[in-house]
Amino acid sequence: MDLKLRKVRVMVKKGSEYCIFCGVQVFKDGEYVSFPETFTAYQFLQAGDKACGRCAGMFRDPKFRRNCWLVKVSVFTVLLSPLSALFELPEPPFLLYFTRQKRKHGWILAVQNPVLSLDKFILVVDEDKILFEHKKFEEFLAFSRDLLNRGVPKGVLLGGMPNPSSLRKYGLSWPEAVRLRDLQREPLWRVCVDFERRS
Protein backbone atom coordinates (compact mmCIF):
# COMPACT_ATOMS: atom_id res chain seq x y z
CA MET A 1 0.00 0.00 0.00
CA ASP A 2 1.44 3.35 -1.04
CA LEU A 3 0.81 6.06 1.54
CA LYS A 4 1.27 9.66 0.52
CA LEU A 5 2.03 12.04 3.34
CA ARG A 6 0.57 15.48 3.11
CA LYS A 7 2.42 18.38 4.70
CA VAL A 8 0.23 20.47 6.97
CA ARG A 9 1.26 24.02 7.60
CA VAL A 10 0.35 25.42 11.00
CA MET A 11 -0.06 29.17 11.10
CA VAL A 12 0.98 30.78 14.37
CA LYS A 13 0.60 34.50 14.86
CA LYS A 14 3.87 36.30 15.33
CA GLY A 15 4.65 36.90 19.00
CA SER A 16 2.18 34.29 20.23
CA GLU A 17 2.91 31.51 22.70
CA TYR A 18 0.86 29.16 24.82
CA CYS A 19 0.10 29.24 28.52
CA ILE A 20 2.51 26.91 30.30
CA PHE A 21 -0.32 25.80 32.63
CA CYS A 22 -3.47 25.34 30.54
CA GLY A 23 -2.13 25.55 26.98
CA VAL A 24 -4.39 28.38 25.79
CA GLN A 25 -2.82 30.74 23.26
CA VAL A 26 -1.39 33.91 24.78
CA PHE A 27 0.17 36.88 23.04
CA LYS A 28 2.71 39.52 24.02
CA ASP A 29 0.58 40.45 27.03
CA GLY A 30 1.11 36.98 28.54
CA GLU A 31 2.73 37.05 31.97
CA TYR A 32 6.21 35.64 32.51
CA VAL A 33 6.30 33.19 35.40
CA SER A 34 9.17 32.77 37.83
CA PHE A 35 9.06 29.68 40.01
CA PRO A 36 10.21 29.49 43.62
CA GLU A 37 12.87 26.95 44.55
CA THR A 38 10.19 24.88 46.30
CA PHE A 39 8.17 24.32 43.11
CA THR A 40 8.16 20.62 42.19
CA ALA A 41 5.37 20.24 39.61
CA TYR A 42 7.38 20.96 36.45
CA GLN A 43 6.12 17.71 34.89
CA PHE A 44 2.63 19.28 34.56
CA LEU A 45 3.79 22.33 32.57
CA GLN A 46 3.57 22.99 28.85
CA ALA A 47 6.58 24.37 26.96
CA GLY A 48 7.38 28.07 27.27
CA ASP A 49 7.66 30.65 30.02
CA LYS A 50 4.40 32.61 29.81
CA ALA A 51 1.00 32.11 31.36
CA CYS A 52 -2.46 33.44 30.61
CA GLY A 53 -3.87 35.92 33.13
CA ARG A 54 -6.15 33.35 34.77
CA CYS A 55 -3.45 30.75 35.38
CA ALA A 56 -0.84 33.31 36.44
CA GLY A 57 -3.29 34.54 39.08
CA MET A 58 -3.99 30.99 40.24
CA PHE A 59 -0.27 30.30 40.51
CA ARG A 60 0.36 33.37 42.66
CA ASP A 61 -2.65 32.94 44.96
CA PRO A 62 -2.17 30.13 47.54
CA LYS A 63 -5.93 29.65 47.95
CA PHE A 64 -5.87 27.51 44.79
CA ARG A 65 -3.40 25.10 46.41
CA ARG A 66 -4.89 25.10 49.89
CA ASN A 67 -8.60 24.58 49.26
CA CYS A 68 -11.03 22.27 47.55
CA TRP A 69 -12.75 24.48 44.99
CA LEU A 70 -14.93 24.88 41.94
CA VAL A 71 -14.57 27.60 39.29
CA LYS A 72 -17.48 28.29 36.95
CA VAL A 73 -16.85 31.08 34.44
CA SER A 74 -14.84 33.37 36.75
CA VAL A 75 -16.63 32.59 40.05
CA PHE A 76 -14.37 30.84 42.57
CA THR A 77 -16.14 28.77 45.26
CA VAL A 78 -14.41 27.07 48.19
CA LEU A 79 -15.95 23.64 48.84
CA LEU A 80 -16.28 23.20 52.59
CA SER A 81 -17.98 19.85 52.10
CA PRO A 82 -16.42 18.43 48.90
CA LEU A 83 -18.42 15.18 48.80
CA SER A 84 -21.74 17.00 49.19
CA ALA A 85 -20.68 19.37 46.42
CA LEU A 86 -20.43 16.41 44.04
CA PHE A 87 -24.23 16.09 44.28
CA GLU A 88 -24.79 19.78 43.50
CA LEU A 89 -22.49 20.43 40.57
CA PRO A 90 -23.40 23.16 38.06
CA GLU A 91 -23.82 22.56 34.35
CA PRO A 92 -20.46 21.96 32.65
CA PRO A 93 -17.97 23.22 31.74
CA PHE A 94 -16.25 24.13 35.01
CA LEU A 95 -13.03 23.41 36.91
CA LEU A 96 -12.99 21.22 40.02
CA TYR A 97 -10.13 20.50 42.44
CA PHE A 98 -9.87 18.50 45.69
CA THR A 99 -6.90 18.58 48.04
CA ARG A 100 -5.95 16.67 51.16
CA GLN A 101 -2.40 17.99 51.47
CA LYS A 102 -3.16 21.68 50.81
CA ARG A 103 0.30 22.38 49.42
CA LYS A 104 0.64 20.64 46.06
CA HIS A 105 0.10 22.14 42.61
CA GLY A 106 -2.54 19.70 41.39
CA TRP A 107 -4.69 22.68 40.41
CA ILE A 108 -2.60 22.70 37.20
CA LEU A 109 -4.08 19.31 36.30
CA ALA A 110 -7.54 20.65 37.16
CA VAL A 111 -7.26 23.48 34.61
CA GLN A 112 -6.00 20.95 32.04
CA ASN A 113 -8.97 18.62 32.71
CA PRO A 114 -12.17 20.70 32.90
CA VAL A 115 -15.39 18.90 33.79
CA LEU A 116 -17.44 18.44 30.62
CA SER A 117 -19.95 15.80 31.80
CA LEU A 118 -21.62 15.26 35.16
CA ASP A 119 -21.77 11.47 34.80
CA LYS A 120 -18.10 10.78 34.11
CA PHE A 121 -15.07 13.06 34.35
CA ILE A 122 -11.52 13.37 35.65
CA LEU A 123 -11.50 14.42 39.31
CA VAL A 124 -8.16 15.92 40.32
CA VAL A 125 -7.17 15.22 43.94
CA ASP A 126 -3.83 16.82 44.81
CA GLU A 127 -1.67 15.49 41.95
CA ASP A 128 -3.78 12.43 41.13
CA LYS A 129 -6.28 12.15 38.29
CA ILE A 130 -9.20 9.92 39.30
CA LEU A 131 -11.97 8.70 37.03
CA PHE A 132 -15.21 9.91 38.64
CA GLU A 133 -18.30 7.92 37.73
CA HIS A 134 -21.41 9.24 39.44
CA LYS A 135 -23.19 5.91 39.92
CA LYS A 136 -20.08 4.25 41.38
CA PHE A 137 -19.50 7.28 43.60
CA GLU A 138 -23.02 7.04 45.06
CA GLU A 139 -22.56 3.32 45.83
CA PHE A 140 -19.14 3.83 47.44
CA LEU A 141 -20.30 6.80 49.49
CA ALA A 142 -23.37 4.99 50.84
CA PHE A 143 -21.20 2.01 51.88
CA SER A 144 -18.52 4.20 53.53
CA ARG A 145 -21.11 6.29 55.40
CA ASP A 146 -22.86 3.17 56.67
CA LEU A 147 -19.62 1.75 58.06
CA LEU A 148 -18.38 5.06 59.48
CA ASN A 149 -21.72 5.59 61.25
CA ARG A 150 -21.28 2.13 62.81
CA GLY A 151 -17.96 3.25 64.27
CA VAL A 152 -15.60 1.55 61.82
CA PRO A 153 -12.39 3.63 61.62
CA LYS A 154 -11.17 5.03 58.31
CA GLY A 155 -7.97 2.98 58.67
CA VAL A 156 -10.03 -0.22 58.57
CA LEU A 157 -12.02 1.03 55.56
CA LEU A 158 -8.83 1.75 53.62
CA GLY A 159 -6.78 -1.21 54.83
CA GLY A 160 -8.20 -3.94 52.62
CA MET A 161 -9.33 -7.22 54.20
CA PRO A 162 -10.00 -6.56 57.92
CA ASN A 163 -8.35 -8.93 60.38
CA PRO A 164 -10.55 -11.26 62.49
CA SER A 165 -10.45 -9.03 65.57
CA SER A 166 -11.70 -6.05 63.50
CA LEU A 167 -14.49 -8.21 62.07
CA ARG A 168 -15.67 -9.03 65.59
CA LYS A 169 -15.06 -5.58 67.11
CA TYR A 170 -16.98 -3.66 64.45
CA GLY A 171 -19.56 -6.33 63.60
CA LEU A 172 -18.51 -6.60 59.99
CA SER A 173 -20.08 -9.34 57.90
CA TRP A 174 -18.02 -11.53 55.59
CA PRO A 175 -19.47 -9.89 52.43
CA GLU A 176 -18.57 -6.45 53.84
CA ALA A 177 -15.03 -7.64 54.57
CA VAL A 178 -14.64 -9.03 51.05
CA ARG A 179 -15.95 -5.78 49.60
CA LEU A 180 -13.41 -3.79 51.64
CA ARG A 181 -10.69 -6.06 50.26
CA ASP A 182 -11.88 -5.45 46.70
CA LEU A 183 -12.14 -1.67 47.20
CA GLN A 184 -8.65 -1.20 48.60
CA ARG A 185 -7.14 -0.16 45.26
CA GLU A 186 -10.11 1.93 44.06
CA PRO A 187 -9.04 5.60 44.02
CA LEU A 188 -12.66 6.80 44.09
CA TRP A 189 -13.28 4.70 47.23
CA ARG A 190 -10.35 6.48 48.91
CA VAL A 191 -11.90 9.84 48.01
CA CYS A 192 -15.21 8.79 49.59
CA VAL A 193 -13.49 7.76 52.81
CA ASP A 194 -10.85 10.50 53.05
CA PHE A 195 -13.22 13.41 52.51
CA GLU A 196 -16.11 12.09 54.62
CA ARG A 197 -16.70 13.63 58.02
CA ARG A 198 -18.06 11.52 60.82
CA SER A 199 -21.64 12.38 61.79
Q: What one-character-per-residue DSSP string does 124-174 give?
A: EETTEEEEEEHHHHHHHHHHHHHHHHTT--HHHHHSSSPPHHHHHHHT--H
Does the bond joining 93 to the residue before it have cis omega, within 30 degrees of 0?
yes
> How far is Cα 187 from Cα 136, in angstroms, rounded to an integer?
11
Q: What is the pLDDT of residue 29?
A: 74
pLDDT tens for the chain, 199 residues long, are: 444 444 434 344 455 689 999 999 987 778 898 898 889 899 999 888 899 999 999 999 999 999 999 999 989 999 999 999 999 999 999 999 999 988 889 999 999 999 999 999 999 999 999 999 999 999 999 999 999 999 999 999 999 999 999 999 999 999 999 999 999 999 999 999 999 975 4
**Four-residue CA torsion sign, 143, 144, 150, 155:** positive
SS3 state at 98: strand
pLDDT score, position 169: 94
* Segments making up each domain of the chain, as ranges: 15-60, 134-194
